[in-house]
Structures are given as C-alpha cells and as structure tokens.
A and B are shown apart, each in its own frame.
Chain A
Amino acid sequence: MSAPVLKLDDARASKAAPAAEVVAFRAPKAPSPLQKRAGDVLNWATTTLVPPLVVLTLLLLFWELVCSRPGSSLPPPSQVVTDTWELIVNPFYDRGGLDKGLFWHLLASLQRVALGYAIAVVVGVAFGVLVGQSTWAMRGLDPIFQILRTVPPLAWLPLALAAFRDGQPSAIFVIFITSVWPIIINTAVGIRNIPTDYSNVAKVIRLNGFEYFTKIMIPAAAPYIFTGLRIGIGLSWLAIVAAEMLIGGVGIGFFIWDAWNSSNISDIILALVYVGVVGFILDRIVAFIAGAVTRGTANA
C-alpha cells in the first residue's frame, strides 16, 4: 500500500527539480529613501487629496452652471473670483477704519476667540474637575449647567452688553459662555470615569492631593477633556461670527454683515470660505494637540 504513494512522491520531486534550477531571481533593488518618500506623498495625494478635489470641482461646475443664467440671485464662482480679486491677492491692506484686508478681520476675530476660549478652558476644566470629583458639587451644579448650556449663545449677548457696556468684552463673554459647557461636562465625565485602580495605586504610594491631580487625574481624564475642548473651539468659532455681526467693529462677522449691507454678495462668499477654512484649521490644531498629549491614554 505504501509503495505507490512513495512513487507518487518521487515523480513529483523529479518534476519539480528542474524548476529549482531555473529560479534565479535578481534581488529587487531596494527603493531609495527619496523614492520611498515620493511614493508616500503620491499615495497620500491619491487617497486624501484627490477625492475632495474631484468633488469640489464638480460642485463648482454645478454652481457655475446654475448661477450663470441671467437674472440668477447669486453670482457664479467665476464672478466671485473676479469681484473679490483684490481681497484675495491683498489680504493685508489697511486703509484705516473698517476698510482693512481680510487678514485683519480674521485676526481680530481670532483674538476674541483666543481670549474667550482661553478663559473657557481654565474655568471649564476647573468646574469640570469640581463637578466630577465631588458628588455634592455635581448634585448642586449639574442641573444648573444642563439648563444654562441650552441657552443659545446670542441670547447672552444683550445681557453681556448690558453688563459690560462695550462690544469687545461682550463678544469675548459670548465666546466664553458658548464653549465652556462642553468643556465642563466632558471634563466632569472624564474625572468621574477614572478607574478605581488608578486611585488605588495613588493611595498605595500615597500621592498627595496636588500630585494626584497632576499625575493621575488630568492625564486620566485628558481624552475626555480634549473631546470637550474640540467641541468648544468649534462652537466658539460658530458664535463669534454671529456675535460680531451684532456688535460691529473689525472682525470677520462684521465684514460679512457689512458686505451684505453693501450688497457685495461675492465678498460674503469669499468670507464664508475663509471662515470655513479657519474653523477647520482651529479644529485640526486642537485635535493635533490632543493627539500629542493623550498618546496611548485612549487605549490602555
């Protein structure tokens, strides 16, 4: 019974033998670092850059077609570019008063957001820690927070104007009050979700309150805190445009409102593009910081 099987094996072996001699690959040349890098860039371009560009082109084409008819209420993209060419190529001009380049308007808005958001981060994390840490603080403050956070940002503006009697601090207050709630709530959730194991470790090695705060609490809650910070920065940018429309002065929101009053629809469209891009960049910046800070924390 075993003999035929052996024969089969022999036959297979002899057939396979010549093939072994023929096989003589030349070692493939390893790609140089430069080539590899170029490959990476190409790969990134095809997967990340090309799809949105294609879609964008299609949308612009569609827009161009729809709005090119005579009597259409909005300008087509080609018209927008020609109308706003001066604004596009010269964002830094300053003719005094409100007649400034878009850069200055954006900068003014960003400064307000930076200040309001910075206050919101400090206050939000502090209250979040308090509410997350203490059951009594949570019972007392949480219902109030839950109600206040549903108040639309702009509804605070008249009250702020009444209190501060000035546009600038009012706008900053609106930014603060808009972005502080998600920061408080997410921080509190993060603090409450710190595993007992971590606090047990802290107890065994006898960390004091301050060490516990800096070495355990903040890093452990960091992923949650950053979720709040990201939502917060998005909301601030949403609120600033609306707030600036009402308070006036230099700022991208007022620029849009001013353009509407002088019927420069193309200016509005250009400003919207800038607002979108800046908002996107702000979100990316916070996301990048979050990624760098919370490395490894999310997946233990």
Chain B
Amino acid sequence: MSKQAFLSIQHVDKAFSRGGVTNEVLKDVSLDVNEGEYISIIGHSGCGKSTLLNIVAGLTGVTKGVVFLEGKVVDEPGPDRAVVFQNHSLLPWLTAYENVALAVDKVFARTKTKAERHEWTMRQIELVNMAHAKDRRPSEISGGMKQRIGIARALAMQPKVLLLDEPFGALDALTRTHLQDQVMQIQTELKNTVLMITHDVDEAVLLSDRIVMMTNGPSARIGEVLSVPLERPRKRLELVSDRTYIAARAAVLKFLYERHRFIEAA
C-alpha cells in the first residue's frame, strides 16, 4: 500500500437494483492513474463509463471495491474531483461569471479574500477566453461557450483530478476541434490529472496519454489500456500522418468495432 498511485480505482463493482432486478454495470474495474496524466475512457454507449466517472466523482456509490485519491478513500463528492458535465449544467439564472464565482466563493471561502476570489474567477474565465461574455446568461451564449464556462468552473476549484464526462459530445465538429485544442493547451499549462469519458476515437488519441477501452455492458470491464506515446504539444494536422497516431487510432477502432462490437445497435 505504500507505493499507491495518485488515483487508484481498485476492484470496483457496481450494480443497480430496481424492483428486485439487479443490473450489474461494472465488474472488477481496476485502474491506476498517475499525477498529471490524461486518461480517456472509451466504450460503446451503455458500457458504464459514465457510471465509472460518477463513482470517481463520488456522486455514485460502489457496490464493491474502493477508490483512493492520494491515499484517501473517495466516498462523497468534493471540489478536489471537479466534474465537467456533458450538458454543461450551468445554472441558467446566473451569468457566466456568477456560475464560476459560485464555485470559487464556496471552495475558497476561507482561504482567499473577496478580492482574491474575484481575481481568481476572472483568471479562470480568461483562461477559457470567455472574458468578453462573462456577464451573459447561459441562454444567451452558444453551446461551445457554455462548455467553456463549465470547464472554467471545474478548473476554478483547482481539482486534484478533473473529470470530463463527454465534454465535447453535444458540440458541433468545428467547435469541438477548437475546444479540444484549448483543453490540450490548458492541460499542458496546468498539468492537471484528467479522466475523460468519450466515444470519439480521434479525440481520445489526440488528447490522452493512455486510453482505457471498456467492454460492452452489462458487467463491463476494462478490456485494454493503450498508451499513446506521442510528444506534446501535439498538433492536430501533423498527427494526421503520424505513424504512432495512426497505429493508436487503428488499435482503438479495432477494439471497439471488431472485438467488442455493439450488438444492440443504438
């Protein structure tokens, strides 16, 4: 136990019971994540990857097994594991600034003065290039901008692990590309530990240090873990013809579409 990984998911089982019917979602999932690592979890829909993320976030309990973060058991949600939700989940009655400030004011209530908190909030908003729209409400900004504020809110908590739940899933392809580049740049700067759920193979290969591929549910397991030994900073255009990139992409595709094809085609 002395040499434990930064984030350690150990033999996690998860089953949901409803009306006497037990549905096993995850079976014996173990994963060690190092500090500063960018991990993608990829799999077909319904494979329990979101459940796994929620377990790490502390929003869902485990049936069996345990999650450690820096040696401490994770059993409730907290700002050290900030989540960027798939549908941004900004509070619609608050402006972009207020949404970030809500988190900042709560998380740093005791450790920062009011002026420092304001400055910190502004810094996060500037980090995602949203200073120009900080006083707009979520209904007045585009999907990509909402997600940027969602990311700013999560980063503002200075989480030990940043959890991204299909953060770019609801965006159009161009916005997604732009945001991926931005996240990559921020991660290079801040060296966050990131756990990202995705179903986009290119996104996984481009952003990750390691890709965790999950088998189909029920009772999903980690099928394979692929290291992506690409130099950072990574350039999208240069990678298109890079051998390592192509090989990694092929490996993931093979896993998803040959060995673990989604049977009940969605």
> Measured between alpha carbons, how far is A65 from B78 in the docked complex, in Å?
75
Which of A197, A198, A294: most chain B Cβ within 10 A? Answer: A197
Among B58, B91, B103, B157, the residue within 8 A (CB) of A198 is B91
- Which of B3-11, B82-90, B188-196 makes up part of the contact surface? B82-90
Q: How many residues of A are counted as interface, with CB atoms below 8 angstroms from the partner's CB atoms? A: 22
User: Which residue in chain A gives the minimum CB-CB distance to B80?
Assistant: A204
- Chain A binding surface SS class: helix
> Measured between alpha carbons, how far is A219 from B81 in the docked complex, in Å?
26
Contact partners of A165 in chain B: CB under 8 A: none
Contact partners of A201 in chain B: CB under 8 A: 85, 89, 91
Which of B93, B102, B140: most chain A Cβ within 10 A? Answer: B93
> Measured between alpha carbons, how far is A220 from B138 in the docked complex, in Å?
14
Are A205 and B92 closer than 8 Å at their CB atoms? no
- Binary CB contact string for chain B from 68 to 110 against chain A (1 if under 8 A, 0 otherwise): 0000000011110111010101111100000000110011000
The A274-300 residues at the B interface (CB cut-off 8 A) are 294-297, 299-300
Are B93 and A295 closer than 8 Å at their CB atoms? yes
User: Which residue in chain B gives the minimum CB-CB distance to A296?
Assistant: B137
The A242-300 residues at the B interface (CB cut-off 8 A) are 294-297, 299-300
Q: How many residues of B are counted as interface, with CB atoms below 8 angstroms from the partner's CB atoms? A: 26
> Measured between alpha carbons, how far is A206 from B59 in the docked complex, in Å?
12
Check A203 for interface membership: any CB of B closer than 8 A: yes
Contact partners of B85 in chain A: CB under 8 A: 197, 200-201
Are B81 and A204 closer than 8 Å at their CB atoms? yes
Contact partners of A297 in chain B: CB under 8 A: 92-93
> Measured between alpha carbons, how far is A194 from B81 in the docked complex, in Å?
23
Are B106 and A198 closer than 8 Å at their CB atoms? no
Are B78 and A204 closer than 8 Å at their CB atoms? yes
> Measured between alpha carbons, how far is A300 from B91 in the docked complex, in Å?
8
Contact partners of A219 in chain B: CB under 8 A: 91, 93
- What total count of A-B pairs have CB within 8 Å? 64
> Measured between alpha carbons, how far is A206 from B103 in the docked complex, in Å?
9
Distance between B246 CB and nearest chain A CB, rounded to angstroms = 37
Which of A198, A201, A211, A295: most chain B Cβ within 10 A? Answer: A201
Are B102 and A215 closer than 8 Å at their CB atoms? yes
> Measured between alpha carbons, how far is A206 from B107 in the docked complex, in Å?
8
Check A31 for interface membership: any CB of B closer than 8 A: no
> Measured between alpha carbons, how far is A105 from B90 in the docked complex, in Å?
49
Check B142 for interface membership: any CB of A closer than 8 A: no
Among B93, B103, B137, the residue within 8 A (CB) of A205 is B103
Are B93 and A206 closer than 8 Å at their CB atoms? no
> Measured between alpha carbons, how far is A216 from B106 in the docked complex, in Å?
13
> Measured between alpha carbons, how far is A78 from B78 in the docked complex, in Å?
73
Are B89 and A200 closer than 8 Å at their CB atoms? yes
Distance between A258 CB and nearest chain B CB, rounded to angstroms = 48
Are B89 and A206 closer than 8 Å at their CB atoms? no
User: Which residue in chain A gives the minimum CB-CB distance to B58?
Assistant: A203
User: Which residue in chain A gives the minimum CB-CB distance to B136?
Assistant: A296
Are A200 and B83 closer than 8 Å at their CB atoms? yes
Distance between A260 CB and nearest chain B CB, rounded to angstroms = 48
Are A206 and B79 closer than 8 Å at their CB atoms? yes
> Measured between alpha carbons, how far is A200 from B78 in the docked complex, in Å?
10
Check B227 for interface membership: any CB of A closer than 8 A: no
Distance between A10 CB and nearest chain B CB, rounded to angstroms = 41
Are B59 and A203 closer than 8 Å at their CB atoms? yes
User: Which residue in chain B gives the minimum CB-CB distance to A197?
Assistant: B89
Distance between B239 CB and nearest chain A CB, rounded to angstroms = 33
The A207-238 residues at the B interface (CB cut-off 8 A) are 207, 211, 215-216, 219-220, 222
Which residues of B are interface residues toward A (Cβ below 8 A)? 57-59, 76-79, 81-83, 85, 87, 89-93, 102-103, 106-107, 137-140, 157
Instruction: Please name the 3 residue pairs, one residue from A and one from B, whose CB atoms are nearest each other, closest first.
Output: A197-B89, A300-B92, A203-B77
Which residues of A are interface residues toward B (Cβ below 8 A)? 195, 197-198, 200-201, 203-207, 211, 215-216, 219-220, 222, 294-297, 299-300
Query: Can you pick out 5 interface pairs between chain A and chain B where the beta carbons lie within 8 Å of each other?
Result: A197-B89, A201-B85, A201-B91, A203-B77, A219-B93
